[in-house]
Amino acid sequence: MLASASPRRAELLSRLGLPFVVRASGVDESGLEHLTPPEQALELARLKARSVGQPGEWVLAADTLVALQERVLAKPADQAEYRHFIRLLSGRGHTVFTGFALRDPKGREWIGVEATQVFFRELADWEIEWYVASGEGMDKAGGYGVQGKGMVLVERIVGDFYTVMGLPVARVWKALVQAGFPLALPAANEAGSDD
Protein backbone atom coordinates (compact mmCIF):
# COMPACT_ATOMS: atom_id res chain seq x y z
CA MET A 1 0.00 0.00 0.00
CA LEU A 2 1.44 3.38 -1.01
CA ALA A 3 0.05 6.04 1.33
CA SER A 4 0.60 8.84 -1.16
CA ALA A 5 -1.12 10.34 -4.18
CA SER A 6 2.24 11.51 -5.54
CA PRO A 7 2.71 10.36 -9.14
CA ARG A 8 6.47 10.67 -8.64
CA ARG A 9 6.53 8.18 -5.77
CA ALA A 10 4.33 5.80 -7.75
CA GLU A 11 6.68 6.13 -10.73
CA LEU A 12 9.72 5.29 -8.61
CA LEU A 13 8.09 2.20 -7.10
CA SER A 14 6.96 1.11 -10.57
CA ARG A 15 10.52 1.45 -11.88
CA LEU A 16 11.59 -1.02 -9.19
CA GLY A 17 8.87 -3.45 -10.25
CA LEU A 18 7.25 -3.36 -6.81
CA PRO A 19 3.53 -4.15 -6.61
CA PHE A 20 1.47 -1.50 -4.85
CA VAL A 21 -1.95 0.07 -4.56
CA VAL A 22 -2.35 3.79 -3.91
CA ARG A 23 -4.38 4.74 -0.86
CA ALA A 24 -3.76 8.41 -0.16
CA SER A 25 -3.99 9.53 3.43
CA GLY A 26 -6.07 12.42 4.58
CA VAL A 27 -3.66 13.38 7.35
CA ASP A 28 -3.80 17.00 8.49
CA GLU A 29 -0.29 18.28 7.86
CA SER A 30 -0.59 21.29 10.16
CA GLY A 31 0.27 21.52 13.84
CA LEU A 32 3.83 20.21 13.63
CA GLU A 33 5.56 23.57 13.28
CA HIS A 34 7.20 23.12 16.70
CA LEU A 35 9.30 20.30 15.20
CA THR A 36 12.45 20.80 13.11
CA PRO A 37 12.00 20.25 9.34
CA PRO A 38 13.48 16.70 9.39
CA GLU A 39 11.33 15.81 12.41
CA GLN A 40 8.25 17.14 10.60
CA ALA A 41 8.98 15.07 7.49
CA LEU A 42 9.48 11.93 9.58
CA GLU A 43 6.41 12.46 11.75
CA LEU A 44 4.17 13.15 8.75
CA ALA A 45 5.38 9.96 7.06
CA ARG A 46 4.61 7.97 10.23
CA LEU A 47 1.15 9.52 10.59
CA LYS A 48 0.34 8.80 6.95
CA ALA A 49 1.46 5.17 7.22
CA ARG A 50 -0.63 4.65 10.34
CA SER A 51 -3.70 6.36 8.84
CA VAL A 52 -4.10 4.08 5.81
CA GLY A 53 -2.74 0.73 6.91
CA GLN A 54 -4.97 -2.17 7.82
CA PRO A 55 -3.76 -5.18 9.82
CA GLY A 56 -1.98 -7.61 7.53
CA GLU A 57 -0.91 -5.01 4.96
CA TRP A 58 2.45 -3.61 4.00
CA VAL A 59 2.32 0.20 3.96
CA LEU A 60 4.83 2.73 2.70
CA ALA A 61 4.40 6.46 3.31
CA ALA A 62 6.65 9.43 2.69
CA ASP A 63 6.63 13.16 3.13
CA THR A 64 8.89 15.76 1.57
CA LEU A 65 9.67 19.21 2.98
CA VAL A 66 11.75 22.00 1.51
CA ALA A 67 13.56 24.08 4.11
CA LEU A 68 15.30 27.38 3.49
CA GLN A 69 17.35 27.52 6.68
CA GLU A 70 14.64 26.72 9.28
CA ARG A 71 11.74 28.04 7.21
CA VAL A 72 9.60 25.32 5.65
CA LEU A 73 8.32 26.04 2.15
CA ALA A 74 5.24 23.86 1.72
CA LYS A 75 3.13 23.48 -1.42
CA PRO A 76 2.31 27.00 -2.65
CA ALA A 77 -1.18 28.18 -1.68
CA ASP A 78 -1.55 30.31 -4.80
CA GLN A 79 0.38 31.84 -7.73
CA ALA A 80 1.67 34.73 -5.62
CA GLU A 81 3.18 32.38 -3.05
CA TYR A 82 4.50 30.16 -5.87
CA ARG A 83 6.34 33.14 -7.41
CA HIS A 84 7.58 34.20 -3.96
CA PHE A 85 9.06 30.73 -3.27
CA ILE A 86 10.96 30.63 -6.56
CA ARG A 87 12.32 34.14 -5.94
CA LEU A 88 13.41 33.11 -2.42
CA LEU A 89 15.22 30.05 -3.76
CA SER A 90 16.91 31.86 -6.66
CA GLY A 91 20.70 31.92 -6.22
CA ARG A 92 20.54 30.09 -2.90
CA GLY A 93 20.90 26.67 -1.39
CA HIS A 94 18.18 24.88 0.52
CA THR A 95 17.60 21.45 2.02
CA VAL A 96 15.04 18.89 0.93
CA PHE A 97 14.02 16.43 3.65
CA THR A 98 12.09 13.29 2.79
CA GLY A 99 10.92 11.11 5.61
CA PHE A 100 9.56 7.63 5.07
CA ALA A 101 7.74 5.04 7.15
CA LEU A 102 7.39 1.38 6.24
CA ARG A 103 4.95 -0.76 8.24
CA ASP A 104 4.85 -4.52 7.93
CA PRO A 105 1.70 -6.67 8.31
CA LYS A 106 2.39 -7.03 12.06
CA GLY A 107 2.54 -3.24 12.56
CA ARG A 108 6.32 -3.00 13.00
CA GLU A 109 7.89 0.14 11.56
CA TRP A 110 11.08 1.02 9.72
CA ILE A 111 11.55 4.77 9.48
CA GLY A 112 14.11 7.21 8.21
CA VAL A 113 14.69 10.68 6.88
CA GLU A 114 17.11 11.73 4.18
CA ALA A 115 18.48 15.26 3.59
CA THR A 116 19.71 16.57 0.25
CA GLN A 117 21.14 20.01 -0.50
CA VAL A 118 19.81 21.73 -3.62
CA PHE A 119 21.34 24.89 -5.06
CA PHE A 120 19.37 27.09 -7.45
CA ARG A 121 21.26 29.27 -9.89
CA GLU A 122 20.51 32.98 -10.00
CA LEU A 123 17.29 33.26 -11.99
CA ALA A 124 16.28 36.12 -14.26
CA ASP A 125 12.81 37.61 -13.71
CA TRP A 126 11.60 36.17 -17.02
CA GLU A 127 12.74 32.69 -15.99
CA ILE A 128 10.80 32.92 -12.75
CA GLU A 129 7.70 34.06 -14.66
CA TRP A 130 8.18 31.28 -17.23
CA TYR A 131 8.39 28.64 -14.52
CA VAL A 132 5.47 30.00 -12.52
CA ALA A 133 3.36 30.13 -15.71
CA SER A 134 4.09 26.43 -16.27
CA GLY A 135 2.18 25.60 -13.07
CA GLU A 136 4.46 22.62 -12.57
CA GLY A 137 5.33 23.37 -8.96
CA MET A 138 1.88 24.18 -7.59
CA ASP A 139 1.47 20.71 -6.09
CA LYS A 140 5.05 20.32 -4.88
CA ALA A 141 6.88 21.24 -1.69
CA GLY A 142 8.91 24.38 -2.30
CA GLY A 143 7.04 25.07 -5.52
CA TYR A 144 9.29 23.18 -7.93
CA GLY A 145 9.84 19.76 -9.47
CA VAL A 146 13.44 18.79 -10.14
CA GLN A 147 12.40 15.98 -12.50
CA GLY A 148 10.45 18.29 -14.83
CA LYS A 149 10.93 21.83 -16.14
CA GLY A 150 12.38 22.70 -12.74
CA MET A 151 15.59 20.94 -13.75
CA VAL A 152 16.71 24.19 -15.41
CA LEU A 153 16.47 26.05 -12.07
CA VAL A 154 18.95 23.78 -10.31
CA GLU A 155 22.68 24.40 -10.49
CA ARG A 156 23.75 21.42 -8.40
CA ILE A 157 22.56 18.80 -5.93
CA VAL A 158 24.57 17.39 -3.05
CA GLY A 159 23.04 14.14 -1.86
CA ASP A 160 20.39 11.76 -3.13
CA PHE A 161 18.51 13.00 -6.21
CA TYR A 162 15.53 10.74 -5.46
CA THR A 163 15.08 12.36 -2.06
CA VAL A 164 14.35 15.58 -3.95
CA MET A 165 11.87 13.69 -6.15
CA GLY A 166 10.06 12.55 -3.01
CA LEU A 167 11.36 9.11 -2.07
CA PRO A 168 14.86 8.16 -0.86
CA VAL A 169 14.83 4.99 -2.94
CA ALA A 170 18.04 3.38 -1.67
CA ARG A 171 17.02 3.87 1.99
CA VAL A 172 13.52 2.56 1.31
CA TRP A 173 14.92 -0.48 -0.54
CA LYS A 174 17.22 -1.23 2.40
CA ALA A 175 14.25 -0.98 4.78
CA LEU A 176 12.20 -3.34 2.59
CA VAL A 177 15.03 -5.89 2.67
CA GLN A 178 15.47 -5.54 6.45
CA ALA A 179 11.72 -5.87 7.00
CA GLY A 180 11.54 -9.05 4.93
CA PHE A 181 9.30 -7.67 2.20
CA PRO A 182 8.86 -10.42 -0.44
CA LEU A 183 11.02 -8.92 -3.18
CA ALA A 184 10.97 -10.84 -6.47
CA LEU A 185 14.72 -11.07 -6.97
CA PRO A 186 16.26 -13.07 -9.82
CA ALA A 187 18.11 -16.26 -8.99
CA ALA A 188 21.92 -15.99 -9.08
CA ASN A 189 22.21 -17.71 -12.46
CA GLU A 190 19.54 -15.39 -13.94
CA ALA A 191 21.32 -12.30 -12.66
CA GLY A 192 24.34 -12.80 -14.90
CA SER A 193 26.50 -14.89 -12.62
CA ASP A 194 29.94 -15.80 -14.01
CA ASP A 195 29.54 -19.41 -12.82
CATH of the domain at 98: 3.90.950.10
The predicted-structure confidence for 182-192, as pLDDT tens digits, reads as follows 876 554 444 44
- Counted domains in the chain: 1
Domain that holds residue 58: 7-179
Is residue 46, in this structure, part of any structural domain at all?
A: yes
Is residue 173, in this structure, part of any structural domain at all?
A: yes
The predicted-structure confidence for 4-14, as pLDDT tens digits, reads as follows 989 999 999 99
Quickly count: other Cβ atoms within 10 Å of residue 32's Cβ.
Answer: 17
Is residue 61, in this structure, part of any structural domain at all?
A: yes
The predicted-structure confidence for 57-72, as pLDDT tens digits, reads as follows 999 999 999 999 889 9
pTM of the model: 0.90
Is residue 2, in this structure, part of any structural domain at all?
A: no
Cβ atoms of 96 and 65 closer than 8 Å: yes
Is residue 186, in this structure, part of any structural domain at all?
A: no
List residues with catalytic annotation. Answer: 63
